[in-house]
Structure 1
Amino acid sequence: MAHPTVLRKLVARYEELTAAASASAPDPALTRQREDTAYTLCVSTGTRDVQDALRVARRALEAGGGSSSTTAPSATATSPTDCTA
């Protein structure tokens, strides 16, 4: 499991990229960054699905006393990215 600071930054970055992607026209560079961040989250949490990775990361952060909520909860609800890419 990654250090809480790393997890917190990954969750925040993933949420930022997801929100940006849903607020703008499709951007291949933005999509690639989100996929890379999702993959790193999965590797860091030992999961294969980004939603599982986010759930595991948030639980780890809550257990360690760190807050994982950085943006609106809906920012991650629509992402189809999996970590097998």
Structure 2
Amino acid sequence: MLIPLRPHPATLRKLVEEYEGLLADDGGRDASGGGPRARDLAYTLCVLTGTRDVSAALEAAHRHLAAAGPRPEPVTGAAGTLRTATAPEPVTVAQAGVG
């Protein structure tokens, strides 16, 4: 029995956004025939979604992302670091009792 991959939504979102950005730059044509990065993204999207066609991969990715819910809102943590709302705050050396 094959168990389908379940890519992390943030990873999948990044790949989709980059591929669609290349697609827009290429005038809306299928970017998989473009440069090496576009071909790599198309291949990775197909592997992660269990498809063999980049159009089907994008449709599957969008369904997966819709089911995953909205993107977490970024928040600024200690020392101005950009963190997601679900990430824990970093611990300083003083808080850890080191030193």
Instruction: State whether TM-score is above 0.5.
Output: yes
Kindly provide the amino acid, as one letter, of the partner of residue 47 in structure 2.
V
The structure 1 residue matched to 2:52, chosen from 12, 24, 48, is 48
**How well do the aligned residues superpose, as a CA RMSD in angstroms?**
2.0
Other-structure match for 1:63: 67
Bigger strand share = 2
Q: Does 1:14 align with 2:19?
A: yes
2: distance between equivalents of 1:46 and 1:17?
A: 22
Q: Secondary structure at the match of 1:16?
A: helix
Bigger helix share = 1
User: What's the CA shift string for 1:15-68, capped at 9, x where partnerless?
Assistant: 011111228xxxx9x52211110001011111110011101110011011136x
Gaps of 5+ in 1: 68-85
Gaps of 5+ in 2: 1-5, 72-99
Larger Rg: 2
Pairs aligned (count): 62
Other-structure match for 1:76: none
Task: Give the fraction of aligned pairs with identical amino acids, expressed as a percent.
Answer: 50
What's the TM-score, normalizing by structure 1?
0.64
The ranges of structure 1 where at least 4 consecutive aligned residues each deviate by more than 4 angstroms after the TM superposition are: none
Q: Which has the higher contact order (CA 8 A, sep 6+)?
A: 1
2: distance between equivalents of 1:39 and 1:8?
A: 15
